[in-house]
Chain A
Amino acid sequence: DAGVIQSPRHEVTEMGQEVTLRCKPISGHDYLFWYRQTMMRGLELLIYFNNNVPIDDSGMPEDRFSAKMPNASFSTLKIQPSEPRDSAVYFCASRKGPNTGELFFGEGSRLTVL
């Protein structure tokens, strides 16, 4: 089975540009999570979805960040406009069921905002 697929793996952009990160969860998984990893703050939960519906977006840092899940096999995380402090590795993870514990992570999208 293919795992969680994220794209792009690496993105370098200039401050003020729009960034869109993409995620395809594992087929059949009904929970999808977006995390951000930085040296300073570690791994932070940004938002998660259940059956394509956003459940908790309290971790989204600012209005510049938005996430969508138009269907069960695709989610996007958008940053507009991007800033240098958004530079991080963004992970998407999915899971089947509410509390089975194992999150399956993608390989991450490394974002650098100049």
Chain B
Amino acid sequence: GEDVEQSLFLSVREGDSSVINCTYTDSSSTYLYWYKQEPGAGLQLLTYIFSNMDMKQDQRLTVLLNKKDKHLSLRIADTQTGDSAIYFCAETLPGSGNTGKLIFGQGTTLQVKP
């Protein structure tokens, strides 16, 4: 199938690390993405990883990719209340070639408690 799966909800305390997990379907996906959606807004690209990489770090964000298990994770260090949002994992739709048509997971709602 074409499902990208994520857990629906994660609650952490401010200052802790958050880890959001995702499993995807197509091992040939060239890029995998994390998008963030704040209340009442559209999605914004947070970060992405190319499939030949295992890890990518960008300030407080660390993306880990396990191609064998088709598992992608997003770690947010020192989570702040402003990080409260819905986080979407996305992969390029299988067979979409160069169009880069994205399939999104259901989204993980991150709740950060003060």
Which chain A residues have a beta carbon within 8 Å of chain B's beta carbons? 4, 31, 33, 35, 42-43, 45, 48, 50, 55-56, 91, 93, 95, 98-103, 105-108
Stretch at the interface among B11-19, B20-28, B36-44, B66-74: B36-44
In the complex, which of the residues B93, B98, B102, B105 contacts A103, with contact meaning CB atoms closer than 8 Å? Answer: B102
Nearest CB of chain A from residue B22's CB, rounded to whole Å = 13
On whether A95 and B42 interact (CB within 8 A), knowing A42-B106, A43-B107, A101-B48, the answer reads: no
Nearest B residue to A91, CB-CB: B42
Residues of the A chain whose Cβ atoms lie less than 8 Å from the Cβ of B106: 42-43
Q: How far is the CB of A58 from chain B (nearest CB, A)?
A: 10
The answer for the CA separation of A55 and B99 in the assembled complex, in Å, is: 9
A91 with B99: CB separation less than 8 A: no
The one of B31, B42, B44, B105 that contacts A101, using a Cβ cutoff of 8 Å? B31
A25 CB to closest chain B CB, in angstroms? Answer: 13
Tell me whether B42 and A48 are in contact (CB under 8 A): no
Asked if residues B42 and A42 are in contact (CB atoms below 8 Å), the reply is: no
Q: What is the CA–CA distance of A93 and B101 in the complex, to the nearest angstrom?
A: 11
| Cα separation A105 to B41 with both chains bound (whole Å) | 9
Q: Does B30 contact A (CB under 8 A)?
A: yes
Alpha-carbon gap, A4 to B45, bound state (A): 14
Cβ–Cβ contact B43 & A103, under 8 A: yes
Among B30, B42, B104, B105, contact of A99 (Cβ-Cβ < 8 Å):
B30
